[in-house]
Chain A
Amino acid sequence: MTSQAMDSTQRALQDNAPRRGLTRRDLLRMGPGAAAALAFGCGPQSPSSADSALDAGRITGAIVGASHRIGHRLRGSAFPEPQQTRDAGVVIVGAGIAGLSAAWKLARSGFRDFTVLELEPESGGNARWGENAVSAYPWGAHYLPTPTAESTAVRELVEEMGLVEGYGPNGEPIYDPRHLCHAPQERVFIDGRWIEGLSARDVAGSDGPAPGGEGEVLAAFEAQVRRYRDYRDAGGRRAFALPLAAGTTDPEILALDRISMREYLDRAGWASPRLRWYVDYCCRDDYGCTLDTTSAWAAWHYFCSRPADVEYLTWPEGNGRIVRHFLERMDGQVRTGMLVYRVRSAGDPSSGAAEARVSETGSEAGAAAGGVDVDVLDTRDETAIRYRARRCIYALPRFTAPRVIDGYLPAGIEAFTYSPWLVANLTVERLPAGAAWDNVLYDSPSLGYVVATHQDLRMTTGRSVLTWYLPLAAPSPETARAWMLQQDWRDLASLILADLGQAHPGIESTVTHVDVMLWGHAMIRPVPGFVWGEARRRAAAPYGPVRFAHSDMSGISLFEEAQYHGVRAAEEVMRELGHPFSSSL
């Protein structure tokens, strides 16, 4: 009961009072696409209280989990010859969502003779997670949108995870509300204040009655979203589906892939800065790309592949919850710290390339292959093991394949490019006032932060973990990666605190710990021409006894795509090996 709501109301009003970022404006001036400006030489210019907190050691932390040194051994190190050989039905290389989904489908179909090999000390790939005394927290992907009807495998998964309470009158799943993102979900810090919501209308419409025709631009944008959402081709397929393989191949839609989203906006004459920021933000959020480096097709896929009433399934550890579910169903078949350095056809090392050409039209050629050797280095004791398998599912990003798979060098492989990301988890003693689940900063190259304790049903003491995301979307992945590897923890922590300080002056006084993870090749980049281009089409083909599975085969780094390719590869393998299964696709 409460009668004196006056105090709390006043506090709430104060919290919403206009507030300019007190920390370095130079940091926040860098608008969209200028992440590199942040990265290159725009560090702190005068000692701040954040810096003194870092220097005094009051805020602890480290750069964690970067195994790039191990991965980069593939660039030319000599590896020992395997001392022992093990037999396995199927070897899955990579325990990200694609690899684990392949394993999940195999296990679910009663095919238990498989091993998953993962380089990192933990499974999960982009869905990895961490945990400390305050909360579990994500290191990457932190939610799963409620699956559309086409995402049959995802629907199967969420049901198996016990997330579905029942079904509505039209057969649509009703989700356990504990796992749907609680309110308040999103807010944006813009013009020195927080606005609720993160839709085009929330952001672009926040400017009041716009003199520059913002309202018309917004209405035109929303109308286009509705058109693409409602689109059905002659076969009843949607313009943008999940997985995208279920969508239309109407050339008019696919033509969107040839131009960048910036070009699209320019041609449409949509000049509203707020709307352009919003679209750019979405591209950075989903693809780690800017308006210039995202194809219009990929951008529209983001806006139109899901219905307007989509909700988000989320957990403290993000999609780590799904990884945990996968791992619980494995029988110790996932081995971490294992660097796969060579994959080759067992019988004839040179036969692979020939078969690859044949197999482009189907999987028959693969069935004829005699088996595959997967050579792996146990990074804990530097011993090498050879797995002799009937099939290999290669579930790593494709750019690694030429260095690992003997003789594999398809034309156009260099078209597979990846955006680097920087993710930090900050432990705070006190959650910022009014925090939503996703808290976005308008004037920042970062995406803002997500609150790990948001789904907690308990009364909180205010302690929490904030996951801060920075896609290094410009100027190029190579320069961003090089910059990233030069930074030490102190510099990165200072930059992160300055960024958050825009919206939360003095936040450093509540931060106790900052861990940072560097993702060198976090997401496939759907640059113009990639999704519906030659390189991706070629990459769909198997290579001898090797089947591929990864979201980069779709050109967009989404859970649904990664899972689709994992399940698809598993089904292909079972079909070839004569193991019965019922398809999830």
Chain B
Amino acid sequence: MDERPAASADGEAARTRVLLIAVFTIATCGLVYELLSGTIASYLLGDSVTQFSTVIGVYLFSMGVGSYLSRYFQRELIVRFIEIEILVGLVGGLSSPALFFAFSELGAFRVVLYGWVTATGVLVGLEIPFLIRILKDQFPLHDLVSKVLSLDYLGALAASLLFPLWLVPQVGLMRSSFVFGGLNVLVAVWTCHVFRDQHRRPRLTAQAYAALGVLVLGAVYSDDLVDWSERRLYDDPVVLSRSSPYQRIVLTRGEGGVRLFLDGNLQFSSLDEYRYHEALVHPGLASVAAPRRALVLGGGDGMAVREILKDERVREITLVDLDPSMTEIFRDHEAFAALNDYALRSPRVDAINADAFVWVESDTTRYDFIVVDFPDPRTYSLGKLYTTTFYRRLRERLNPGGVAALQSTSPLVSRQAFWSIVETIRAAGLHAVPYHAPVPSFGEWGYVLASEAPPSVPHAFPSGLRFLTPAIAATLFEFPADMAAVPVEVNHLNNQILVQYHAAGWERYVRGRR
């Protein structure tokens, strides 16, 4: 190896310059990581004040821990510094993918979040004490402290301006994370070169380059990690997306709360879903004399189950949803299980993943109350769940005196579709009582009560409802002229007329809005 004499004065000055640039860079990176964690936590969990406060608090405290720990490092400070830079680059650079992954796949998001913030903070906290100690012979103390801290705060200013103005709107959370991790590692690489006579460890240089390679790859392919094209479809940030064999599940969170989309179609907004679900469940449930056993078909989000649980008379609820991903998200995922008050964890609830048509054909139990909460009949596959054939099977699952409540699309947007559902239920030999409720996210929404005998008018509801009262419920059964019954055909498997009615109504509505 080329043994060189001690560095010249010029070399010394160059090294000092490198280290001072490093101070600026690592300060910028450190604050970017902090802002990324705070922003991602706000996106995913909502309540940005809480998220930012806790993330900043934990981060600053961890930096303090790092500064304290710096005393235990005595020898080969420049080597330690390079190692720290590589580690900060990797931990900070991978923070966005790690947090998104933890949220959508692991469930224990907060553990990962604060663990990650702590690790980043401790490593960043080591940086400045190391640099001050490395540079302590180059400058008098007052000059050194002034230089390092002013550059540190200048870096923070750069980060705080770059982040909202350029990084979030243009680069994206995922790529920003990789880019700034890469900058951190670049500091390590540069330091490696400038101080190569002091460390003489080719492996260290190789490690630095390897880490840089990982982060550059991440930055290049970050579009693949996040389907931005999909995210553009939604108004609010996508906080979870999952493809099951049956559908694409997307949850977004914004000022309007959490929204669930299945195959791009809004299923609920946490802002007003209580209106939809109270109206779906309580008029029917309250009209049953002694409901003990309830069945929910569809509705894997657990909201309808939450409403049924409010009625103490119901002992057992069977939830049948096709998609295991749905019940898993809304039972096991803290952020979303909270939306249904952890209904799917209740001992009164048995959640089953099965096809609803197969289930009603093979099930032998009879229920006092049944909720049918399928997606709208926008495909022929879904249309089969709105046929006389299906309703006859449903009828066989009802106890005498039992009532079924069915979501039945919008009687305002798709009037023919709504009344076709009503007529189809009647053709299956059941009494059908249509009603509707205003749900701002959807507009005027329609439901039908189906039973062997005409259901009684409900007089009392469980306490704690935010929308429904007996007085309001009574008005829901009145249909104004613009939603009144129209002559329609019954929906059979061999005509699937409902899919056409539905498409016609919604197509007109969408055109009209443009």
Q: Which of A's residues lie within 8 Å of B, judged by CB?
A: 1-10, 12, 177-178, 180-185, 311, 457-461
Using known A-B contacts A178-B493, A459-B322, determine if residue A7 contacts B233 with beta carbons closer than 8 Å. Answer: yes
Is B382's beta carbon under 8 Å from chain A? yes
Q: For residue B266, which residues in chain A have a CB less than 8 angstroms away from its CB?
A: 2-4
Question: Given A3-B266, A3-B441, A178-B389, A461 and B245 touching (CB < 8 A)?
Answer: yes
Q: Does the CB pair B375–A177 fall under 8 Å? A: no
Q: Which of B381, B384, B496, B506 is within 8 Å of A5, CB to CB? A: B506
Q: Is B265 touching A2 in the complex (CB atoms < 8 A)? A: yes
- Check A459/B355 contact, CB under 8 A, given A5-B510, A178-B389: yes
The answer to whether B506 and A9 have CB atoms under 8 Å apart is yes
Which of A7, A177, A457 is B494 in contact with, Cβ under 8 Å? A177
CA distance A322 to B183 in the complex (A): 71
Q: Which of A3, A7, A180, A182 has the most chain B CB atoms inside 10 A of its CB?
A: A3
A305→B465 CA distance, assembly (Å) = 63
Q: Known: A9-B506, A177-B387, A182-B493. Is A1-B373 also a contact (CB below 8 A)?
A: yes
Among A1, A5, A8, A311: residue with most chain B CB under 10 A: A1
Interface pair B373/A7, CB less than 8 Å apart: no
CA gap between A157 and B441 in the complex, in Å: 53
Contact between chains at B389 and A3 (CB < 8 Å): no
Contacts A7-B233, A9-B503 known; A1 to B375 CB distance under 8 Å? Answer: yes
Are A177 and B388 in contact (CB-based, < 8 A)?
yes
- Cβ-closest 3 pairs across A and B: A183-B496, A5-B506, A2-B376
B67 at the interface (CB under 8 A from A): no
With both beta carbons as reference points, the residue of chain A lying nearest to B495 in the complex is identified as A183
Interface set, chain B 394-448, CB cutoff 8 A to A:
407, 409-410, 441-443, 445
- Enumerate chain A residues within 8 angstroms of B356, measured Cβ to Cβ: 459
**A1 & B494 in contact (Cβ 8 Å cutoff):** no
Asked if A180 and B493 sit within 8 Å, CB to CB, the answer is yes
B414: shortest Cβ distance to chain A, in Å? Answer: 9
Q: For residue B499, which residues in chain A have a CB less than 8 angstroms away from its CB?
A: 183
Shortest CB–CB separation between residue A427 and chain B, in angstroms?
16
* B-side contacts of A182, CB under 8 Å: 380, 384, 493-494, 496
Q: Which of B231-252 contact A (CB under 8 A)?
A: 233, 245-246
Residue of B nearest to A434 (CB): B380
Given contacts A1-B407, A2-B266, A5-B378, list 6 more A-B pairs with CB under 8 A.
A4-B261, A7-B265, A8-B379, A9-B507, A183-B495, A457-B384
Q: Mark B484-514, 1 if CB is under 8 A from A, else 0.
A: 0000000011111101001100110110000
Q: A458, B495: Cβ atoms under 8 Å?
A: no
Out of A1, A184, A457, A461, which one reaches B376, CB within 8 Å? A1
A458 in contact with B493 (CB, 8 Å): no
- Please state if B378 and A1 are interface contacts (CB–CB under 8 Å): no
Q: List 22 A-B contacts (CB under 8 A).
A: A1-B445, A2-B375, A4-B261, A5-B509, A5-B510, A6-B506, A7-B233, A7-B264, A8-B265, A8-B379, A9-B507, A9-B510, A177-B492, A182-B380, A183-B495, A184-B496, A185-B494, A457-B389, A458-B357, A459-B246, A459-B355, A459-B381
In the docked arrangement, what's the CA distance between A181 and B502, Å?
21
**In the complex, which residues of chain A have a beta carbon less than 8 angstroms from the beta carbon of B378?**
2, 5, 8
User: In the complex the two chains form, is A183's CB within 8 Å of B442's CB?
Assistant: no
Query: Which chain A residues border B28 with CB–CB below 8 Å?
Result: none
Interface centre among B233, B267, B493, by most chain A C-beta atoms within 10 angstroms, is B493
- In the assembled complex, which residues on chain A have CB atoms less than 8 Å from the CB atom of B510? 5-6, 9-10
Q: Is B276 an interface residue (CB 8 A)?
A: yes
For residue B263, CB closer than 8 A to chain A, the reply is: yes
The answer to whether A3 touches B493, judged by C-beta atoms less than 8 angstroms apart, is: no
B positions within 8 Å CB-CB of A: 233, 245-246, 261, 263-268, 276, 322, 355-358, 361, 373, 375-376, 378-382, 384, 387-389, 407, 409-410, 441-443, 445, 492-497, 499, 502-503, 506-507, 509-510
* A461 CA to B443 CA, complexed, in Å: 30
Chain B nearest CB from A182 CB (Å) reads: 5
Return chain B residues, CB-CB under 8 Å to A6. Answer: 506, 510
Q: Report Cα–Cα, A459/B377, bound state, in Å.
A: 12
Q: How far is the CA of A182 from the CA of B381 in the complex (A)?
A: 10
Nearest residue, chain A, Cβ from B494 = A180
A2 to B499, CA, bound (A): 13
Q: Taking the nearest CB of chain A, how far is it from the CB of B236, in angstroms?
A: 13
Asked if residues B506 and A181 are in contact (CB atoms below 8 Å), the reply is no
B120 to chain A, nearest CB (A): 38
Chain A residues with Cβ under 8 A from B357's Cβ?
A: 457-459
Complex Cα–Cα for A4 and B497 (A): 21
Contact pick for B267, options A1, A180, A181, A459, CB 8 Å: A1
CA of A6 to CA of B494, assembled, Å:
26
- The residue on B at minimum CB distance from A180 is B494
Q: Which residues of A contact B494 (CB under 8 A)?
A: 177, 180-183, 185, 311
Least CB distance from A411 to B in Å reads: 48
**Closest residue on chain B to residue A175 by CB atoms:** B494
| A3 B442 Cβ-Cβ under 8 A | yes
Distance between Cα atoms of A311 and B494 in the complex (Å): 9
Q: Which residue of B lies closest to A461 (CB)?
A: B245
Give the nearest-CB partner of A463 in chain B: B245
The answer to whether A1 and B276 have CB atoms under 8 Å apart is yes
How many whole Å from A309's CB to the nearest CB in chain B? 11
**A183, B506: Cα distance in complex, Å:** 20
How long is the Cα–Cα vector from A9 to B413 in the complex, in angstroms? 14
With both chains docked as a complex, state the minimum distance between the C-beta of A444 and any C-beta of chain B, in angstroms: 25
| Chain B contacts for A3, CB-based, 8 A | 265-266, 410, 441-443
Residues A177 and B509 in contact in the complex (CB < 8 Å), given A3-B441, A7-B264, A459-B355: no
In the bound complex, residues from chain B placing their C-beta under 8 Å from that of A9 are 503, 506-507, 510
Complex Cα distance A459/B378, Å? 13
- B261: chain A residues at CB < 8 Å are 4
Q: Is the CB of A458 within 8 A of B375?
A: no
| A1-B442 CB under 8 A given contacts A177-B387, A183-B493, A460-B381 | yes
Task: Please indicate the chain A residues that have their CB under 8 angstroms from the CB of B382 in the complex.
Answer: 459
Q: Measured between alpha carbons, how far is A264 from B512 in the docked complex, in Å?
A: 51
* B506 partner residues in chain A, CB cutoff 8 A: 2, 5-6, 9
Closest chain A residue to B414, Cβ basis: A5
**Closest residue on chain A to residue B267 by CB atoms:** A1
Given contacts A3-B441, A183-B380, A459-B322, A177 and B263 within 8 Å (CB-CB): no
Chain A residues with CB below 8 A from B502, complex form: 5
Which residues from A are CB-within-8-Å of B503?
Answer: 9, 12
Kindly name the residue among A4, A12, A459, A460 whose own CB sees the greatest number of chain B CB atoms within 10 A. Answer: A459
| Chain B residues whose CB sits within 8 angstroms of the CB of A460 once the complex forms | 381
In the bound complex, CA of A8 to CA of B414 (Å): 15
Q: How far is the CA of A422 from the CA of B245 in the complex (A)?
A: 33
> Residues of B contacting A5 with CB < 8 Å?
265, 376, 378, 502, 506-507, 509-510
Name the residue on A nearest B354 (C-beta): A458
Question: Could you say which of B264, B379, B381, B409 contacts A4, with CB atoms under 8 Å apart?
Answer: B264
Cα–Cα, bound, A177→B388 (Å): 9
Chain A residue at smallest Cβ distance from B497:
A183
Residues of chain A within 8 A of B441, CB atoms compared: 3
Closest to A453 in B: B381
The minimal Cβ–Cβ distance linking A450 to chain B, given in whole angstroms, is 15
A459 neighbours in B (Cβ, 8 Å) = 246, 322, 355-357, 381-382
Tell me which residues across on chain A come within 8 A of B267, comparing CB atoms: 1-2
Closest residue of B by beta carbon distance from A457: B357
**B246 cross-chain contacts in A, Cβ below 8 A:** 459, 461
Closest CB in chain A relative to B378 CB, distance in Å: 5
- Max chain A CB contacts within 10 Å: which of B261, B375, B507? B507
Given the complex of chains A and B, what is the CA–CA distance between A182 and B493 in angstroms?
Answer: 5
Chain A residue numbers with a CB within 8 Å of B493 are 177-178, 180, 182-183
In the bound complex, CA of A3 to CA of B268 (Å): 9
CB distance from B492 to the nearest CB of A (A): 6
Q: Provide the residues of chain B in CB contact with A181, threshold 8 Å.
A: 494
Query: Closest CB-CB distance, A316 to chain B, in whole Å?
Result: 15
Q: Per a CB cutoff under 8 Å, which of B233, B264, B276, B495 touches A8?
A: B264
Point out the residues of chain B lying under 8 angstroms from A180, CB to CB. 493-494
